[in-house]
Amino acid sequence: MTSIRRWVAPALGLALLTALVANTDSEQILSALLGADPALALAALVLAVASNIVCALRWRRIAQILELQGLGIGRSIGLYFQGMAINTVVPGGVVGGDAWRSYRLESISAQNDLKRATATVLVDRLGGLWGLTWISLAAGMLTLQAQLAHGSVYFSYLLLLTLAVAAPLVLLLAPFVAVLWERQYAGALRQAIAGLFKTLPQSLGGQALGIAALTLSLQSVGVDTGLVQVAFLATAVFLAAALPASLAGFGARELGLVAVFLPMHPGATESLMAGSIVFGLLTLVQGILTLAFFSIGRAWGHHEPRPPK
């Protein structure tokens, strides 16, 4: 059953990509990809790498707040990129990479337990979404007059406000659930609340770099968009990308990006698809290079445990 579930997300992602390509001009998408500006694409890659590094440092800070041991700067960055690589390259979706980070953090020190290690990853994910939500809210307010021309803006603001309020509420309520579950973890969850707020600067910084990478990816294939507009729509795009329906990271993200950007860029479906694919390739390249780097490390005698099944 586990092996079947592992292939569901890639199958759904392939189905989404097939449906999108079937309803667009594939030759135009290919032409846009081949004509992408390499300088903008390279700059987007640099920003994407920087974004992941900042996010890795946020995860390390959360681990410190939850009193887990042994997660140094280099190790946090390495494990974060390994998790990202598993999410992208290995069938199994987002959960696989997150499980890997939790498992490795727990194994670093005898003082670390798996439940608190898992909590660091959950708070890390929640913090990233929270930071992204506030950036989108701020960007929407900066372009309020322009956005009012589109009826979907009211729904967008309602969604963003709900997420902005819901993220800390999840952690505020968690300790009460923990008391009913295992009293000893109530304190750790209270620390996690503090972690969400204390790492907000890293969350904002990491997401801002990711938004800039997405903006340059779209601009590299000729989509006439700016940083503020992308920031406003980024929450919806990244939420779509987190859905378990992707093939090497492709599928749900392309559908989400086209859906939210098309009302503001009518007739640009193929360019939007190409821009989303460029952005996806940035993650895929990072994932492949990460796996290659650690494979070489193992070949030289540095052994890492295999990801849990």
pLDDT tens, position by position, 275-305: 999 999 999 899 889 988 877 756 554 445 4
Residue 295 lies in a domain: yes
Tell me whether residue 8 is in a domain.
no
- For residues 213 and 42, give the distance between their C-alpha atoms in angstroms, rounded to a whole number: 10
Q: Which domain holds residue 291?
A: 33-299
Is residue 259 within 8 Å of 57, Cβ to Cβ? no
> Which of the pair, 308 or 273, is modelled with greater confidence?
273
In a domain, 18, yes or no: no
Q: Rounded distance, CA 241 to CA 249, Å? A: 8
Whether residue 97 is contained in a domain is answered as yes
pLDDT at 179: 45
Inform me whether the pLDDT recorded for 149 exceeds 70. no
Tens digit of pLDDT for each residue in 205-246? 999 999 999 999 999 999 999 999 899 888 888 888 877 766
pLDDT value at 61 more than 80: yes
Question: How many residues are present in the chain?
Answer: 309
Q: Which pLDDT belongs to residue 254?
A: 84
* Domain-located, residue 237: yes
Please report whether residue 308 resides in a domain: no
Q: How many domains does the chain have?
A: 1
Is 1 a member of any domain? no
Residue 142 pLDDT > 90, yes or no? Answer: no
Tell me what the mean pLDDT of segment 57-86 comes to: 92
Give residues with Cβ within 8 angstroms of 116, minimum separation 6.
Answer: 66, 67, 68, 185, 188
Top pLDDT among 196 and 125 is at 125
Q: Classify residue 2 as exposed, middle or buried by CB count within 10 Å of its CB (0-12, 13-18, 19+).
A: exposed
Residue 156 scores a pLDDT above 90:
no
Lowest mean per-residue pLDDT among 56-60, 113-117, 198-202, 300-304: 300-304
